[in-house]
Structure 1
Amino acid sequence: MNHIQELLQTQSALLIMWGALLIHLVLPLPSVAHPALLWHKFAEILAEKVNTQGSYAQRTLSGTLATFLMLIPALMVLIALEPLVWQSELYHLLLLILALDWRGLTTLSKPLFHALAIQDKPQARQLLAERLNRQTDALSEVGLGKASAELLIVGQARQVITVLFWYGLLGGVGALMYRLIVELSRVWSPSVPSNYPFGLAASRLNAGCEWIPVRLFALFLMAGQNLSSIWAQTRRQSCSWPSRTIGWLLCSVGHKLNLSLGGPAIYAGQKNVRAKLGGRVIPSALHLSQVQKLLNQRTYVWIGCQSLLMFTAAQLF
């Protein structure tokens, strides 16, 4: 009994991670009840007040100050609440559950794959519009396939992998703070003309948080057959993407499965010219199922590797 208690104490962080993943997948929090909705609303209200006409430097400064105004109080509240809870382990468990969104991607993928399989473009456009900042009302079948693949790939890396990475480093507070940064960078995305350059600070902070975990996950995705070829093609093509880290991610899957990704996207009526990445095959419902299978397999490997590292670290320290 003493040995079991000692194990539970030393491996509490690992058990919290497994518990959060299990609870998140079995009993997901409805999206309409997620605190992220309130965070979105606050961000929109703040942007309406401070994202006004001005010079490039003024709007950049406003965006930087607004980013800190949103994030610093949130961080202070999360840190201040921990000593007040009955069990800190339960507190970190709750924060990690709130930070994860793996089940949300799975829930979205089923109707999306079905809509693409039966060529129901209006339904597919509507489903994508709920998750993407780009305009989806004019997407062709080719554009829908590419946008769906990009959503799954980037979503898995951000809403599962990077959340777990920051949990491993900074606990539940770190995981939820990263999720808030992601949501903020989405609300103030500089890809939308009205948010440029106001949203640059949030976007760059998000990119900095993803630099290590997303690139590591891209290596996980490349692993297996043709690794050297995929590595060379990814290094070459990723330079042409606005965010080289996301470019790595998209190229790794695109070349792994020979799928064509990237290309132009429309934000608020303005065409954003983006490079084409990956292979030559246009993603269909069948290919998207393969993408999701690859992402989930590599995610399980990531969870296993992180669990081993956390277990070893707990034993050593």
Structure 2
Amino acid sequence: MRTPWPLDLASRVDRAAERRELVDLETCDAIVVRDGRVLAADGRVVELAPEAQPPAALRIYLGRDGDRDLAALVPVDPGFGADDDGIGGDRMRGLRDLLAGFWDRGADGEREHELATTAVAIANWHATHPRCALCGEETVPTLGGWVRRCERDGRDHYPRTDPAIIVAITDPEDRLLLAHAAHWSPRRFSHLAGYVEPGETFEQAVHREVHEESGLALAALEYLGSQPWPFPASVMVAFRAMTDRPEDLRLDMDEISEARFVARDEIAALILAGEVVLAPKGSVARRMLEDWYGGALPEPRRDGPVDV
């Protein structure tokens, strides 16, 4: 019997929604975010005091951390953080690049993950939804950046999150299914996943996506947990399941071009040889892999093939 999957984490920052209309965002310490990147130094998110912040195109209230109010700041200058002029060694880093460091640092990393992910997700929404979906007029941020209001028709527009399922599938021998999506770089493998369609439950989406992409029927479906995944606006809802008939594996070849069931000793050898590139540390997919494996997966040899 496996132990419960350890992703049920309490929030590390109070979102303090009741303060969103009250706080002067220019007085908040700020995380700088732009185009899916976050200002960081040595893998840690940088929080700038008001006097150290660059001119802002947008500010979004993130919440209350102890006695401090925190905001996300989108800089006016699109090149801010590209070099070290005026900001020491700080750089704008892609959120994907920071994930592994977050999850290696325990509670402090969980806090940074929550702040950075929220900042990227809400900034992405502002960037992609500047106009009213009904009349086409420009909208303006309100409620601390958590709403965009159309002043022409008075409608409020709220941030969007698209749910997607991801499922770790094992066979009667407890081998794990690894799949390669047709659009991925060579040797990259992960679990089957897909977006939830209108009118579906998460469980229905799991069965549909798996059958469409692999031809497999599932049993013993079990919910594991979830993770915000703002690339650009998703939340990954994780499950594990079993298939009694791995021989029924039939790939659709449009979305999934390769898949195989692997044993634990086999996956370790494939990783060390550089023949399989797995999901990055800190991702929900990697946690699912290591949950099945029973611990941390080995790292590939430095002199082996690399992902391209």
Shared fold (TM-score, shorter chain, > 0.5): no
- Structure scoring higher RCO (CA < 8 A, sep ≥ 6) equals 1
After TM superposition, the score normalised by the length of structure 2 is 0.27
- TM-score norm. by structure 1 comes to 0.27
Structure (1 or 2) with the larger CA radius of gyration: 2
| Higher strand fraction (1 or 2) | 2
